[in-house]
A and B are shown apart, each in its own frame.
Chain A
Amino acid sequence: QKEVEQNSGPLSVPEGAIASLNCTYSDRGSQSFFWYRQYSGKSPELIMSIYSNGDKEDGRFTAQLNKASQYVSLLIRDSQPSDSATYLCAVTVSDTGRRALTFGSGTRLQVQP
């Protein structure tokens, strides 16, 4: 079983719609959760971090975390064609002293103009 799972997509939404990206993780001890955006040929760019249950909003982006269900999601409101990219979910595994990120395989988002 993969430690971090994402639907690979592509997820296609019309411009102006809400895009919903989902991620599940297997390690119940995971403490830190991140969403990165990666444009083709570029390195990952941090969008959001979330550490506690509930919602965290930053502009058009909302991250949602449910530790009981081992589920983290990213909502993008008013989607724009410039949001078209691969979105990577990442978590820190809870091993003592090990703060490296474990990534999901990414979801490719296409925003249609």
Chain B
Amino acid sequence: SAVISQKPSRDICQRGTSLTIQCQVDSQVTMMFWYRQQPGQSLTLIATANQGSEATYESGFVIDKFPISRPNLTFSTLTVSNMSPEDSSIYLCSVEGGEGSTDTQYFGPGTRLTVL
């Protein structure tokens, strides 16, 4: 499976500021996904990012709040804008691929965000 890294691994931010999370993959992948995991909850998909096209956002998530870039096949960023304490979560990127299946997803280590 692909090796996925995320930066930063954690951050503490002030209300009203923005944070950009980076996701780097060691191989070229077509589809990348961004998920949010709120404290004590399961994972919720924010958006799907394909290289060369606009990200597709899930219901309840909007581009102004969570702008995403996908400049090439190995990299993506998610920005959490105008943060509030409700944005405190773990943000995870994932990619498809691996032996035997193209729809198996593998996750990066996550970014733990705390908003004060």
**A residues at B contact (CB < 8 Å):** 32, 34, 42-46, 49, 51, 88, 92, 98-106
- Tell me, rounded to whole Å, the shortest Cβ–Cβ distance linking A63 to chain B: 13
Q: A43-B110, A98-B48 are in contact. Are A32 and B103 (CB under 8 A)?
A: yes
Pick the residue among A34, A51, A92, A106 that contacts B42 (CB under 8 A): A106
Q: Tell me, yes or no, whether B43 is within 8 Å of chain A by CB.
A: yes
Pick the residue among B48, B56, B104, B109 that contacts A34 (CB under 8 A): B104
Pick the residue among A44, A99, A100 that contacts B107 (CB under 8 A): A44
28 CB contacts below 8 A, A to B, read A32-B103, A32-B104, A34-B104, A34-B105, A42-B109, A43-B92, A43-B108, A43-B109, A44-B92, A45-B107, A46-B105, A49-B101, A88-B42, A88-B43, A92-B103, A99-B31, A99-B48, A99-B96, A99-B103, A100-B48, A101-B33, A101-B45, A101-B94, A101-B105, A103-B42, A103-B44, A104-B42, A105-B42
Those of B1-26 within 8 Å (CB) of chain A: 1
| Alpha-carbon separation in the docked complex, A32 to B70 (Å) | 26
Query: What B residues does A44 contact at CB under 8 A?
Result: 43, 92, 107
Query: What is the size, in residues, of chain B's interface with A at 8 Å between Cβ atoms?
Result: 24
Q: A32-B103, A98-B48 are in contact. Are A103 and B33 (CB under 8 A)?
A: no
| Alpha-carbon separation in the docked complex, A44 to B92 (Å) | 9
Pick the residue among B41, B45, B56 that contacts A105 (CB under 8 A): B41
| Alpha-carbon separation in the docked complex, A102 to B31 (Å) | 16
Query: What A residues does B43 contact at CB under 8 A?
Result: 44, 88, 101, 103
